[in-house]
Structure 1
Amino acid sequence: MMLVTSRRTGRWVIPKGNLMAGTPSHAAAALEAEEEAGIRGLACPVAIGSYRYRKRRRNGASLMVDVEVFPLSVSEELATWKEKDERERRWFTLAEAANAVDEPDLRELIRSFGPKEFRAAAVRTGMLNVVAKKSRIPKMFAWFQRLLPKTGNFFELFEAHALTITAAADALARLLQGASSPADHIREVNERETDADNIIREVLHTVRETFLTPFDRSAITSLIGSMDDSVDEMQAAVQAIDVYDVTEFDQEMKDMAAIIVDCARLTAEAIPLLRDVGRNGNRLHELTERMVRAENHADEVHRAGLKRNFREFGKVDTPRFIVAREIYKHLERIVDAFEDVANEIDGIVIDHA
């Protein structure tokens, strides 16, 4: 996470500013990030939370200010920017960023964005390992473990697929943001989709040959299937962009891409927590709730984008409207697939937590 210093006190803060008339909140936040931190990227229109702090005015008054926080996926760091000589910028780990800021609510918000305490969930600690360690019979345990049926490497495959989805979402976002060399971003999404196909084939093969599975077999195939649907639709979106040679994208398309990036990040955080559903049930529910809320917001953005395109081009440039509708369709299906991922994870939590 990038933080900047305050111009007056030099303390570490996030880039922020006042609302701008006629500009959506998340777009205003992105402009402030460029002016104060010299970074560009897609800001997700769904806020991750808010915090309150006391701000001292130039007239001496000290007033409470409510700040709504939007995640921004950084794709470019500028060498020069408006407030370069007035602030310092620095990348922090999430734990370091939480400790660096003064506002308690902001500190908790940063921690909830990717809490350190859940990283331990990614370490596999089976009950038999615990028993063997406490009973001091590692040699006997090793011999006994070799006699047990295979349990498969499902968690590793799930996590690899989640990372593939995240990389594909980032490439899609760069493409819609108008980054240079669009063919490279299209190619990356296609390559990531191929990687995802290889992973899902291995998952399905492992399901058939594994005696003990961590969840019901249908839950495993449904979860990996919904994850794969998201990256399939990403590929469909970039292929449509390539076929129709689209080079300019609506703000609503960029907003949907930002939502997709955020949903991919939430998926990548949630999947490792499935290693210990009982301990991580509450956090998993929080993450899936965010994904469902993001999907609802994406529906609104989708309708607004289609409506504006129909008004502007429906009668005067029908082919352009049809192309835009095609791209919006795939973007919506990507987010819908992430909602399916959230529902599948919720089902696992209900069954096992």
Structure 2
Amino acid sequence: MPYKRTEQKFNGKINVCEIGAGDAAISIGGEKTLPFLGDEGFKTAVGIAISDAPEDWADCFKTIYGDDLKNPAAFAKAAVEKSGADFILVKLASADPNGADNSVENCVATAVAVEAAVKVPVVIEGCKNAEKDAKLLEAVAKALENKNVVLFSAVEDNYKTIGAAGAMAYGQKVSAESAVDINLAKQLNILLTQLGVKSQDIVMDVGSAAAGYGFEYVASTMDRIRLAGLGQNDESLQMPIITDVSSDSWSVKESVFTEAEAPEWGSLEARGIGMEVTTAAACVVGGSNAIIVRHPESAKTIKSMIAGLIG
């Protein structure tokens, strides 16, 4: 018997969120059904990650980028060219008060230089210190006014500053970060909308984990969020999901142990790419609307996979 696909109909719809400005702008979200099960052409955007402090990155990235690693703008331009990514994430890791404690002014200058160097939308991440990120991302939002960047990410301790500055004062998009928990994700979305941020200006960072390292919690959380947004028409969970798998994928033993430490495992670079692609692929089929990876080959592979699924 020939296969006949039965498409499940839902009452809800995921919001469309546009990031970037002008010809560089892209839209994510807008689907009315679960990933790749409908006729609407669900497509995940693929981003490439860079950092202003990549000293702890695997040696393979030194081979790929050379001296560009020392210049975030050149690094960003090369990353986009080598990967064909739809957008770029710049991690302002040097701002960490427990690390280099780079000044807000210096980090803002880096963000501005990166945005000017590339022709794709930009996502700006802080240093994961809530207090410093509030100041940093507010300043970034002001400096890049009307560039429609994503501030990645607001948490419960700083969402008021980032939400007010990012989306309301300077017209940016805000990513709401929760720790693999549907209730926390919903709560933060509600808090941002109550603050005055439009739901179309919010994306969700619901958390990640490398495949094989508690990823089942990520998968189940994404499933529950998407089913609530589509099946229950829960407007507080209808924001697009953006997932950065780069840090988790390149920090587990499979992509950290050197070839001298584990010669039987083969190439460290190949292992890292494999871990990143596996994790990213799982997030894509789980409903992530934008996925972020570190290695250019990972980006190319995921883009090819998505194109194949769309047909």
Answer yes or no: same fold by TM over 0.5: no
Higher strand content, 1 or 2: 2
TM-score norm. by structure 2 comes to 0.29
Higher helix content, 1 or 2: 1
The structure number with the bigger radius of gyration is 1
Higher relative contact order structure (alpha carbons within 8 Å, sequence separation ≥ 6): 2
